[in-house]
Structure 1
Amino acid sequence: MGEAASDKPYEDLDAEEQVEAIMSDEGGAAIIDFWSPTCGPCMAMANDFTAVAGQFDSDEVRFCKVNTATHGFLAAPFRIQSVPTILFVLDGEVVDAVVGRMDAKRLGSRAEWLLNKKRRRSKGLLGRLFG
């Protein structure tokens, strides 16, 4: 990875091991954008995705992108049929999916929702019931 890649607030996923880590029981909260460079809505959403990703600590919510044109094999297990498709994952479970472009406000709201869900889950049963 070059220096420019480390400046991005998201991870480009290009290996099965990376996806498997996110989809593990200890994978935490992640938002995965399945996109293609030939997709107009994907390209229109790219700046919003980057801006929202920059607002979150990657230890809290990981933002990831999968280029389906070059890494379609990573999209196949999720049965991605249209791009953009954004998956919201918590500890290996897809808890929500959105097909189509999301603006920054909507994406930010869903990221907050996922983070809150993660925080409630980490409190255990009593924390979820009474927290």
Structure 2
Amino acid sequence: MLITCPHCQTRNRVPDERAAQDPSCGRCGRALLDGEVLALDEARFDAVLTGSELPVLVDFWAPWCGPCRMMAPQFEAAARALKGQALLVKVNSDEAQGLSARYGIRSIPTLIHFEGGRERQRISGALQAPQILQWLRQAR
């Protein structure tokens, strides 16, 4: 599968069987699929979204949002559970207002599930990790 490094935007080919084995970028050496949530800005968003053959789950949030802060550890737990199966990223809607406008974000937190660079589904409101996993797996 192809995965774009979220750090240097280099496209990396990773054998499917190695996806859960902490592959690293061939250029910068940083982890590609370490089970951690990635914080993306507008400059890196499109490269990561369209450069991954894995599903990408985006959490649009803001630091002042109470439900967003409550959901953050749950989103991180979901990222660990989906290590090697999906990329989980966060976009600060205050700092990435262009992305928020492009995707019509009206309330936060909002999760959008992308595959092949296209939106598959979305849901708004704070969720627990099991709910995030179930919601994502239902679309498959």
Same topology, TM > 0.5: yes
TM-score for both structures, normalised by structure 2: 0.68
Aligned residues: 109
CA RMSD of aligned residues (A): 2.3
Whose helix proportion is higher, 1 or 2?
A: 1
Matched AA of 2:47? A
Gaps of 5+ in 2: 1-6, 8-30
Report deviation, 1:28: 3.1
Q: 2:136 is matched with which residue: 87, 111, 128?
A: 111
Distance 2:55 2:105 in 1: 20
Report deviation, 1:100: 0.9
| RCO higher in structure (CA 8 A, sep ≥6) | 1
Percent identity between the two aligned chains: 27
Report deviation, 1:81: 1.1
TM-score for both structures, normalised by structure 1: 0.72
Q: 1:51 is matched with which residue: 74, 77, 81?
A: 77
Query: What are the Cα deviations for residues 56-95 of structure 1, in whole angstroms up to 9, with x where unaligned?
Result: 22x4200000011222222221011111110011111111
Aligned to 2:90: 65
TM alignment of 1:1-131, pairs within 5 A:
9-16=36-43, 18-24=44-50, 27-57=53-83, 59-114=84-139, 117=140
